Structure 1
């Protein structure tokens, strides 16, 4: 780990105000010194050679000056980057990485969010006390007035309502996406972040200055207040479990809100939890700990673990399809990629000072905003080929036999082979492929023994997936002989035999009338 003046003065973002060369008080410097030993240990861990990983940097795309925020429209495959110094938004076409620039009327854009349903993009302008709405079809703009210093934005795609946290007027501007008319809802002190649960139509506003969350009912804009830890500054929602996770930087923990009744629980983290995101598919929550160079992984059911990252992790995003988590580390100029299945990590280099990250799960591309090098690193996950489902069953009973199918998600790869052990299946005979659907033929499966048949799919990018087929046989058991004779005369007595064909059954009992 490098120990220099910059390491002792980490960058801090306070809304739209960012600093990289300010002087910090003794308490912060003391706090950071306590983390130097931890940092050295973590960097040592990161220097250990990793297994080959498929997430690689594909290219860097130039943006405006000092990019800060990023959002993705997975439907149109467009990426929107806010540039603070050049006061514009760079629109990247994900298909070919060509760019278009949208001017922000001489105001500094910060946060950005997309409604993929309406193809509208919402950009906050803290200095202009407004939001610019970009029409994704033609990049035309409309200005919508907000409260003072709009700093965060969230979209409810189901209701087409947009929620803007106004830091200096302690309220939220609600924009109706149909006509851009607005309503104002009171919040706590210094609202700093906002998230939406589209399933319950509840909105959660983190109030950085009053250590609480304002819960807005999207139906009538009535509010409730829920206490949190100290200095909350990030929030994420799991709509599947109706749990809300608030990262409290000042108390080094996460407040977990039950969306049903607003009761809370507290989960400890490492030093300086700054960002939080959720994978609703796995019910895992990822909390970026800024000062301890780590991520706390919360199992939504019962436990936590800690994973090392690079220096000063700043942002985090999840790809729920591949179960990969991407953490931007601003001082080590890279991202930590966490495999959600086993929490193993790898590192991918980025540009200078990566401070925001967004994922397009449809293309399996990751976009990392590099503030100082004024570009976006495009990370491609090429080793994420998969099949679904991973398990199936097959009945050898003639009347019940049916082909087994599984669907491949290939990304940029192709299927190389399907094997059972060392034996390679023959395409056209043992299986067929149509529109990425693999059909394992019943003729092949009927020849397999009862039990587990494991078929290994190998892809051109060297990734593998296993389809496990449980082969059984519900054919009724048979006896080779169903009648016989027995002579009770002592000299003529002999055993009676019959051969059972059990298929998948076992013999439970033999009875003579009621007698076993």
Structure 2
């Protein structure tokens, strides 16, 4: 099933209504990881040690649960082919799911352990970072989405971690948490063409600003974020706080949001102007929080992760950083995901998924 539609993000607007809670969906296990195909109105949520829940976003009901591999960790969706890819960490496999039938159509062994996963919708290639328990070397495994077979393996010294695909330039960017570097891979040859030093433990998925052609890397154990000029591959440091946890971008307002979450005290959320790469604002945020920006409304959502009780989800204006609303969501809330077609935000919880209309 080939879906040729494209998801378009319009210019930001001033919302006349505040975000509101419209549904609470019970789940059998904590909802900690989301993926969505907005073209089919299906949201996918990892449930427990080896299951994937499929949510119909029109009815807000779980329509089926699919058994996959052990310890699923990350997901990627190819909206053109309606295929969902789940990286099963413990198995070292990738489950390929047909979004039309909600069935696993292939399970691909990629290594000892499989980690992050990303897809290039233009080339129908899937990239999976693997971990070796027996050596200091690992691979970035490239899968052919048409055949569900391994296309090639790109060797890495250390641990390839987070992957970002730029489908327009056919470049793949991979962080390495052992060598504290960023690798640049050519998508046509699947070879590393450059490696640049970044900060310590770049374990957060980078974000790309296509307007300025810059890649932003949050460094978990450094007091700065790395900004990579993708034309020259020059790396610039922007000094922030340590324990960087989340990074988000509003490409329409040229704002980058990076949280610096502490262990036992409140953290900070820093706002960068991507044109100048200077900090232009900051907020105090919970020690363990997740961040999402809705480009269409310019609303910034900050959720707190706790084990018990209802917790606040704070909504800020993305430019002025003024608080706009406070919503109560369930314990364990953390994962945030936006459906760009409906302007709905999904908040993961210990026993529920909260749906918010922005």
1:113 is aligned to: 35
Deviations 1:421-479 (A, max 9, x none): xxxxxxxxxxxxxxxxxxxxxxxxxxxxxxxxxxxxxxxxxxxxxxxxxxxxxxxxxxx
Instruction: Choose 1 or 2 for highest CA Rg.
Output: 1
Provide structure 1 residue ranges, at least 5 long, that are not aligned to the other structure: 1-72, 76-93, 385-516
The alignment of Structure 1 onto Structure 2 pairs a total of residues equal to 292
Q: Tell me which residue corresponds to 2:54.
A: 133
**2: CA distance, partners of 1:359 / 1:189:** 35
Aligned to 1:260: 188
Q: Is 2:161 the counterpart of 1:239?
A: no
CA distance 1:144–1:268, change in 2 (3 Å): same
CA contact (8 A) 1:110 1:151 kept: no
2:88 equivalent in structure 1: 166
CA RMSD of aligned residues (A): 2.2
Take 2:183 and 2:212, find their aligned partners in 1: how far apart are those partners? 19
Gaps of 5+ in 2: 1-6, 10-16, 322-358
Change (3 A) 1:227 1:365: farther
Question: Equivalent of 2:254, from 311, 316, 323?
Answer: 323
**Which TM-score applies when normalising by structure 1?**
0.53
Number of the residue aligned with 1:300: 230
Q: Deviations over 1:83-140 (max 9, x none)?
A: xxxxxxxxxxx953225222221x2322111211112111112x34011111111111
Distance change (3 Å), C-alpha of 1:312 and 1:218 = same
Distance 1:368 1:354, change over 3 A: farther
Separation in 2, partners of 1:178, 1:343: 43
SS at match of 2:231: coil
C-alpha distance in structure 2 between counterparts of 1:233 and 1:98, whole Å: 35
- Distance change in 2, residues 1:138/1:350 (3 Å): farther
* Residues 312-356 of structure 1 deviation map (CA, whole Å, 9 limit, x = unaligned): 101212222222111122115221111110101134325412443
Of 102, 108, 126, the match for 2:25: 102
Task: Tell me whether 1:207 sits opposite 2:207 in the alignment.
Answer: no
Tell me if structure 2 keeps the 8 A contact 1:119–1:135: yes
| Higher RCO, 1 vs 2 (CA within 8 Å, ≥6 residues apart) | 2
More strand by share: 2
Report the alpha carbon displacement of residue 251 of structure 1 after superposing the two structures with TM: 0.7
Which structure shows the higher helix fraction? 1
Residues in 2 aligned to 1:117 and 1:157: alpha-carbon distance in whole angstroms: 7
> Within the alignment, does 1:270 sit opposite 2:199 as a pair?
yes
Where in structure 2 are the equivalents of 1:66-465 lying within 5 Å? Answer: 96-105=19-28, 107-125=29-47, 127-141=48-62, 142-182=64-104, 183-209=106-132, 211-223=138-150, 224-264=152-192, 265-275=194-204, 276-302=206-232, 303-331=234-262, 332-372=266-306, 374-382=311-319
CA distance in 2: counterparts of 1:136 and 1:350, whole angstroms: 32
Q: Specify the SS of the correspondent of 2:20.
A: coil
Instruction: Give the distance between the partners of 1:237 and 1:355, measured in 2 at CA.
Output: 25
